Amino acid sequence: MLRIGITGGIGVGKTIVCRVFQVLGIPVYDADTRAKWVMQHDTALKQELQAAFGQETYTLEGQLNRAYLASVVFNNQERLEKLNALVHPHVGLDFERWAEANASAPYLIKEAALMFESGSWRQMDEIIVVTAPLDVRLKRLLKRDPHRTEADIKTIISKQLSEDEKIARAQHVVYNDDQQLIIPQVLALHDRFLSKSGIKSDIAR
């Protein structure tokens, strides 16, 4: 089955693009949301995280202590890489189970912010990068996350793979710059993926 990855930096609008694909009937795996679920429910991963970051990683009730974990990895690249190295393989297995459960779909989409950084792009047949100018991203994020400052957002962006590098490594780009319409871009990609899957599109133009 054709597997399509969708990635992009914070504030580019990956979720909106994925929603259009979902409206078209395509299953979308949200890796970031599932990672939170896996960290809470995967017993093996919980043990690995506690061994790496301390028993305080989970509360006495067994709930993930997000504030503590964030404080441990904040501004510590080595610990952040360790966290990702532990979590991503478990999310990858979760994705494989999900893909098997959705095997009847014409193609599948996996949305992940750290697709290139985690290596999960290797599970994909093609990659879509969603991109937007920095000023547009800042405006969106300041509205969405009023607790964050512009400096906070720029720090997060600076730690992510650059837009140019993401685009260079992808097969497709969706421009979510408030100038170009998203739906026509997604429809064109949808037709392409259906064709590669041997299915004729029935969407009227």
- Annotated binding residues for ATP, written as ranges, equal 11-16
Residues 6+ apart with CB under 8 A from 77: none
The CA distance from 91 to 99, in Å, is 12
**Annotated binding-site members:** 11-16
Tell me the three state secondary structure of residue 148: coil
Which pair of tokens denotes residue 145? 């996350």
Cα angle 149-155-156, degrees, rounded to a multiple of 5: 95
Count of C-beta atoms within a 10 Å radius of residue 200: 7
| Helix axis angle, 14-23 to 182-196, nearest 10° | 60
Strand partners, 172: 128
Strand partners, 110: 5, 29
Which pair of tokens denotes residue 186? 């997604």
